[in-house]
Structure 1
Amino acid sequence: MTSTVFAAPAPTARTASDFEAEVVVAALRAEADGVVGVDLALPGGAALPPWTPGAHIDVELPGGLTRQYSLCGEPADPSRWRLGVLREADGRGGSRWLADQLTVGTVLRVRGPRNNFPLHPAARYVLVAGGIGITPILPMIRAAEAAGADWVLHYGGRTRASMAFLDELAGYGDRVRIHPQDETGLLDLDAILGAPAADTLVYCCGPTGLLDAVSERCREWPAGSLHVERFTAVAVVPDGEETGFEVVCERSGLTVTVPPELSILEAVENAGVSVLSSCTEGICGTCETTVLDGEPDHRDCLLTDDEKAAGDTMLICVSRCRGARLVLDL
């Protein structure tokens, strides 16, 4: 097959979308052991906002929980958003509630979409998914296939029965390589990623161990080749003892002291400044804020190295200040 450069649509903005609405559960399906497929629609069948491969939405749950779920349906269909939800018995409760309590007709409040994981143009893609990390990869496959780009998917999971969307993926033939751990062992990342390839982008989503291993294998690849999305944050160890600092909220006309025990987000909210936020772990991008002056101490898992070096924005749920004062567009 002849490879072509994939002309991707403009990615959905990473900054918080203005769209927030109540949607209804239009359909539920068992996609695999412990994985539920959820279709969401607006009441009355109105069109949902457009999105691009890699996008996610925020779902508000009982008890004040907000969780992010990747959109894994068809971007060209504005009537429904599809999610894949893994029931995590040891999680914080959000996935258990969705898996156990949802019925067709349940009303949920959602916000988005937002894209922290956009598909960039390339002649070829190596896609690596672990477990429920297949969800953002599915629409990437459809987009790459439709554009005539060359691609291969390596999809790992504990067992074949636990791996969602296998029937859907079977239609792509040998471009899809299925690796159930109980049958074939762990993904052979040395074979998959051992030789850097020109004009190739690597996209990976899955558990932390897989992301770390893929990142290690891609150290010798050209800069910018690897794109990952994390479900959980990576702990960042401070350089020294935590100290307080001041944050000037330029639009609000307030100066807020951020003590060592509070995040910027907590401090400004305590002062009455309203900020959209969700994960509070530095992975979803909801609280991304423009920096007008000062040097951020970036502790998130979302911004690229170049974005952190530029210092134009920061995630105020986890990041702090390298100095005594920050001026933010709040």
Structure 2
Amino acid sequence: MASVPGINTSSSVAFYTNCSSSSTFLLSCVHPAYIAAAVIATLSCLLGIPTNLLIIVKLSSRLRGTSMTKRLFFNLALSDLLSLFCVLVAGVIFATGPHLPHKLCQFFFYVFLFCVTSSSNILLLISIQRYYKILHHSKWGKLTRTWQRVLLSSVWMLGALLSLPPALLLNEKNKGDMPSNSSCRNKEIHPTAELVYIAILMSGQLVLLFFYIKLVRGVKNIKMSDKLKQKINRLFSRILAVSLVDFLPLIARLVAVAAHITHLEMLYDINKYLTCLECIYFLNHCMNPLLFFFASRHQLGNREKKRKLFLMALNESS
């Protein structure tokens, strides 16, 4: 992710007011972009939760003494799963708007940002690990298991620290435009804190892209079969494409922050349509298992088949 997905808190003031005072069916006063966002978020949860659960179950019994790669996949699946559970809770809050204390809303926003940030950090660490393991194997081999655990722990700790300022700076929207009830959907992150948070995530995405681009270029100079090079390049190209898509929700959030700061009606209108673009981020939680865990298992399966065929040919010739 990664990106700053979240509840679009800066463009839906009028929506809440109109729907809360209307006696018609709820969908009749919902903007089509919000319906599209809800569909994308629902599909992400339906596809991503069971897939990430499957990876966690498969790897949970094999983590002791296993490679760094499997530990990264396990941590990525865990962060993706937690993020999708937060999406479910956010959907319930968005739809019902329960009366919740401010501290509880801060805690929910903190957990939400923590899961999203940790997932983004793990993806960044995976890109660095793959770069050094494939192109600089000797350097990566010097990294002891203790330092590998330190890297994994620091990823989660960094996510916890980066998510703290935006959550602490959570405040109420303009009370004159909102219903007089205490709900998490009536909260918003301070624009300055959100801008800093987006800048940090964009920097992480740029570093991730940098390592994958260098990896794709470096693979061309490695001695291996052309077919294997093509498979690796195709896999990395898909990962690069998904990483580039991560910038779209970040741009959407920048528009949302700009609309909040300038109070321009045009930006508010644009932001409504960009709401569904923000939710595209959650589709990555479904794509991550396919791009990393299952793709690696497929490659390992092909290598195992080739090894068995080679041994059978040796036995027959003997």
TM-score band w.r.t. shorter chain? under 0.3
Structure with larger RCO (C-alpha < 8 A, sep 6+)? 2
Give the structure with the higher percent strand.
1
**Bigger Rg over Cα:** 2
